[in-house]
Amino acid sequence: MIDIRTRLRAGKPCLGAWLGIPHPQSAEAMASLGFHWLAVDMEHGTASVDQAAACFLAAERHGCLPMARLPSADPYLARRLLDGGARGLIVPVVEDAGAFAAFAAHCLYPPKGRRGVGLQRANRWGDDFEAALAGPGPLLVPQIETAKGVAAAGAIAALDAVDALFLGPYDLSADLGAPGDWQAPAFKDAIGAVRTAAGKAGKPTGIHQVTPDAKALAEVLAAGHRFVACSTDIIAMRAALAPLAALGR
């Protein structure tokens, strides 16, 4: 499986697929393209824990790191997803370093944290028990998507458990009073502030490039973002089919 942490530390881009359709066939169709990671969206999507676990399996088949975007910093849902095979978690609306540290403790086995120890798929029902306990733990990526989160970005990035800071452009722009306006001065200043804060902590930033646009993605990478979500399955499908449907109008 692709070692996302090693790539991030080397400054290499890690491109992710964003799964809104909670079905392993959709997950496999995306993972098989060669994305580094795949996130099942459990904040704005409809996936259950069982559906997410099936999608994790599909991603693993192609060496793609299985992840989930949580609906909130719910430590007990996080534990269930990690036991079911998630190798990383994206956590929305993180605004406080202390609160995120408390959440992260639930994702790490003792003595590093307080994750419950059970015989589950994550440790092959005990066959990899010792390796799982001694391992580095899941990739943890807090989302910065409010002005309060921007202000706390330095302290959040400094946490040992944090692997990258991920910007949520729509929520952040909305919180700053200019929803969807990527050229608004306040939005551009916020992006710059988060990148500076993350850089001081030696952590990369990421962002969701929502439109399936190769030129826009290249610009995001040129700006220095390294943990980047590439559109979504649903948005990419609609973008591809819309010109065809228009021919019949």
Which structure tokens are listed for 25?
Answer: 């066939």
Evaluate whether 1 touches 65 at the Cβ level (below 8 Å). yes
Residue 229, class by beta-carbon neighbours within 10 Å (0-12 exposed, 13-18 middle, 19+ buried)?
A: buried
Determine phi and psi for 212, rounding to 5 degrees. -80, 75
Annotated catalytic residue, options 44, 62, 208, 225: 44
Label residue 90 left, alpha or beta by phi (over 0 means left) and psi (-120 to 50 means alpha): beta
Of 194, 192, 84, 92, nearest to 140 by C-alpha is: 92
Task: Measure the CA–CA gap between 63 and 87, rounded to whole angstroms.
Answer: 12
- Residue 225 catalytic? no
For 167, the 3-state DSSP assignment is strand
For the annotated catalytic residues, the residue numbers are: 44
